[in-house]
């Protein structure tokens, strides 16, 4: 991202203006691929529209001059120029209507295509990319401009083409009268080019530097408008504070925008006054020529309009080039994001055939961590230190430890959400780095502790575990039954078609534990070879937790299962247990072996067991009273 930042700090010179057009081939490729017929029609219509003002002037000039000759030749001398002018005017209006219709459709298609490109790029990134604030800034800048910038560039290009055609044709009319008049009318707007270019660069840099704050306003907006944060904001009375923060950022944006508007308005007023003065002088020259009988009345009309058109076209051409330069600077942000190199291991295998994927992802027989160490990007503190263990097919592994001990980090490395680790992760004795990432992930079912609550139907919430079988009700019910959620789904108004959450109409909100079991059902739907459940019982009561773990053990009877939990009661039946502390494996074995060691595992297990016993004694004492 440093290179993009360097490009942003552009100095205003001819070289950089020319360089800013280097994205034009990609822009035209994008426009062409969006809709070829519409794009060609827009080009043809704009070329015709560029020539139409001069044709109208010539027809009007002919009509007015024919009035004088009609006194001797008859009214038909006026009639035919009138018919031609009326017909061309109607044709020009039809062109305008067609242009508006096609342009609106094309703008929508282009916006949709670019948003699709941004989302396609987003899903190709790795977790470490998404956790990078610079990548998030690049994404925000791309999203901010995606909906309108590319189409505005097309409009500016077409405006330049139209203005150029009009300018040169009207200038040719004036050159036949006074050559210096056309030169003067073209020169005046060009004098404002440099000044407005500087203002355009300042506006660009303002938007560039604003991206982090824009993400902040977006986050505040999400907090204030989403149901997930509503309860805390309401009870802790945070609404006023967060709204104040949001309003303060908007006030900063307004103050910055106001300064830029004043600059642009002041500069515009100066050059507008100059242009109006030149326009008035040129009108006076036309009237003087008519007074001296050097030109006819029809020429007076055409020349005065040609003066206005030349001045306006020259001004539009200058402003169009300025706007195009500014749009090109913004466009860099879109392509800077689309050109990001993903650190996701799956990105290295894009284009691989399905056959090669299948041969590169054999049945998972074993998982081995061999002296694995890892630091999160930007952190100097290791999250994992020389972790080693082996898991064979048909076994279950439970990982326990205090918060921050590295349990979840292990699973992120195993699922290749990060690949910048030291040591080796081996699948069937083969380095995971040498495997097809996407093919391997299809063999893994995961429930993360921060699982997603999809505001969709039950069918999607469970079926996302295996999209290919989402319409297979038998498979959905089997996964729901394994997760202990089948009876709840049957009791819902529309069963599998029930909308979940409160974001959309007729949505059914679930408790935290129910949402968690939906997520577990989603993992069970996977029919994977390796299952990873990361704190899947954090919102479940002990009885339901035990049921989930028993279903999990049954599910992985001939597969591999990894179960991460803070609770020790359910995991005691695991084949192998890792006790982690500060990123290291401090103890490992089965439950009986670890209890006999009388170490950290035994201490924490007894502490938790005693807490449950104390709570049970209290309940019995209250019921006895």
Q: 50: domain CATH number? A: 1.20.1560.10
CA-CA distance, 171 to 54, in Å (whole number)? 10
Whether 417 shows a pLDDT value over 60: the answer reads yes
CA-CA distance, 512 to 514, in Å (whole number)? 5
| 345-379 residue pLDDT tens | 665 544 444 444 444 567 889 999 999 999 988 78
Q: 511: domain CATH number? A: 3.40.50.300
Classified as helix, coil or strand, 337 is helix
Please indicate, yes or no, if residue 46 is contained in any of the structural domains. yes
Classified as helix, coil or strand, 309 is helix
Within a 13 Å sphere around the CA of 59, how many CA atoms are in the beta-carbon half?
17
- pLDDT of the residue at 379: 81
Q: Are residues 136 and 279 in the same domain?
A: yes
Whether 9 shows a pLDDT value over 50: the answer reads no
Please indicate, yes or no, if residue 452 is contained in any of the structural domains. yes
Q: Are residues 331 and 370 in the same domain?
A: no
What is the share, in percent, of the chain residues with pLDDT greater than 90?
Answer: 12
Q: Are residues 420 and 523 in the same domain?
A: yes
Q: What is the mean pLDDT of the chain?
A: 78
Q: Are residues 212 and 82 in the same domain?
A: yes
Q: Are residues 416 and 305 in the same domain?
A: no
Q: Round the CA-based radius of gyration of the chain to a whole number and report it.
A: 35
Q: Which of 215, 168, 220 has the alpha carbon at shortest distance from 51?
A: 168
Please indicate, yes or no, if residue 492 is contained in any of the structural domains. yes
pTM equals 0.64
CA-CA distance, 67 to 283, in Å (whole number)? 23
CA-CA distance, 605 to 598, in Å (whole number)? 10
| 149-171 residue pLDDT tens | 777 777 777 777 777 777 777 77
CA-CA distance, 157 to 163, in Å (whole number)? 10
Q: Residue 214 belongs to what domain range?
A: 1-337
Q: Are residues 319 and 371 in the same domain?
A: no
Q: Are residues 199 and 284 in the same domain?
A: yes
Q: Are residues 183 and 330 in the same domain?
A: yes
- Report in angstroms the alpha-carbon separations of 429 from 370, 425, 433, 434: 11, 9, 12, 11
Please indicate, yes or no, if residue 84 is contained in any of the structural domains. yes
Please indicate, yes or no, if residue 243 is contained in any of the structural domains. yes
Distance of CA 349 to the CA centre of its chain: 23
Q: Are residues 51 and 86 in the same domain?
A: yes
Q: Are residues 270 and 372 in the same domain?
A: no
Mean pLDDT over 504-529 rounds to 85
| 250-308 residue pLDDT tens | 999 898 888 888 887 877 777 777 777 776 777 777 777 777 776 666 666 767 777 77
**Two structure tokens written together for 19:** 């360089």
CA-CA distance, 561 to 548, in Å (whole number)? 13
Please indicate, yes or no, if residue 476 is contained in any of the structural domains. yes
**DSSP code at position 362:** P
Banded pLDDT at 184 (limits 50, 70, 90): low
Please indicate, yes or no, if residue 611 is contained in any of the structural domains. no
Number of domains in the chain: 2
Please indicate, yes or no, if residue 506 is contained in any of the structural domains. yes
Q: Are residues 72 and 145 in the same domain?
A: yes
Q: Are residues 48 and 154 in the same domain?
A: yes
Phi first, then psi, for residue 420 (nearest 5°) are -95, 45
């Amino acid at each position: 991202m440093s290179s993009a930042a360097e490009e942003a700090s552009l100095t205003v010179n001819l070289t950089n203006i020319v360089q800013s057009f280097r994205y034009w081939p990609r822009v035209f490729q994008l426009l062409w691929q969006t809709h070829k017929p519409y794009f060609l029609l827009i080009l043809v219509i704009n070329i015709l529209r560029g020539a139409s003002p001069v044709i109208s002037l010539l027809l009007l000039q002919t009509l007015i001059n024919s009035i004088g000759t009609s006194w001797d030749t008859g009214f038909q001398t006026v009639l035919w120029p009138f018919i031609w002018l009326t017909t061309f005017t109607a044709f020009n209006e039809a062109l305008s209507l067609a242009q508006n219709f096609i342009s609106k459709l094309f703008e929508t298609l282009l916006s949709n295509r670019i948003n699709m490109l941004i989302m396609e790029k987003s899903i190709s990134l790795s977790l470490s990319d998404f956790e990078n604030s610079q990548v998030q800034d690049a994404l925000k800048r791309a999203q901010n401009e995606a909906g309108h910038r590319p189409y505005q560039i097309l409009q500016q290009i077409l405006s330049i083409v139209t203005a150029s055609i009009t300018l040169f044709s009207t200038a040719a009319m004036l050159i036949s009268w006074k050559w210096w008049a056309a030169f003067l009318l073209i020169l005046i707007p060009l004098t404002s080019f440099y000044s407005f270019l500087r203002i355009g660069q300042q506006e660009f840099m303002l938007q560039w530097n604003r991206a982090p704050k824009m993400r902040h306003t977006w986050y505040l907006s999400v907090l204030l408008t989403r149901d997930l944060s509503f309860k805390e904001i309401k009870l802790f009375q945070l609404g006023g504070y967060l709204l104040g923060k949001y309003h303060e950022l908007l006030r900063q944006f307004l103050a910055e925008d106001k300064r830029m508007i004043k600059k642009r308005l002041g500069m515009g007023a100066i050059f507008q006054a100059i242009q109006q003065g030149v326009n008035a002088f040129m009108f006076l020259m036309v009237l003087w020529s008519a007074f001296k009988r050097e030109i006819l009345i029809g020429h007076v009309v055409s020349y005065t309009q040609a003066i206005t058109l030349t001045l306006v076209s020259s001004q539009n051409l200058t402003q169009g080039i300025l706007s195009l330069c500014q749009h090109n600077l913004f466009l860099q942000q879109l392509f800077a994001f689309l050109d990001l190199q993903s650190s996701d291991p799956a990105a290295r295998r894009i284009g691989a055939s399905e056959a090669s994927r299948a041969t590169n992802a054999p049945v998972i027989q074993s998982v081995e961590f061999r002296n694995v160490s890892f630091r999160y990007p930007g952190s100097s503190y290791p999250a994992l230190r020389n972790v080693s263990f082996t898991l064979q097919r048909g076994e279950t592994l439970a990982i326990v430890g205090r918060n921050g001990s590295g349990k979840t980090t292990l699973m992120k490395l195993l699922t290749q959400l990060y690949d910048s680790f030291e040591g080796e992760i081996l699948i069937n004795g083969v380095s995971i780095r040498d495997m097809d990432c996407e093919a391997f992930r299809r063999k893994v079912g995961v429930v993360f502790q921060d699982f997603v609550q999809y505001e969709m139907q039950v069918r999607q919430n469970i079926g996302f575990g295996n999209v290919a079988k989402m319409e297979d009700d038998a498979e959905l019910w089997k996964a729901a039954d394994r997760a202990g959620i089948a009876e709840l789904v049957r009791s819902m108004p529309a069963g599998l078609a029930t909308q979940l959450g409160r974001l959309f109409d007729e949505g059914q909100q679930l408790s935290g534990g129910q949402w968690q079991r939906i997520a577990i059902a989603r993992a069970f739907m996977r029919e994977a070879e390796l299952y990873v459940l990361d704190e899947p019982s954090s919102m479940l009561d002990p009885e339901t937790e035990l049921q989930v773990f028993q279903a999990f053990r049954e599910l992985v009877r001939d597969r591999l299962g990894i179960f991460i939990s803070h609770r020790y009661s359910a995991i005691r039946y695991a084949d192998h247990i890792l006790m982690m502390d500060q990123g290291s494996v401090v103890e490992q074995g089965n439950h009986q072996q670890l209890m006999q060691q009388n170490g950290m595992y035994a201490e924490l297990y007894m502490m938790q067991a005693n807490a449950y016993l104390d709570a049970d004694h209290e309940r019995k004492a209250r019921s006895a009273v």
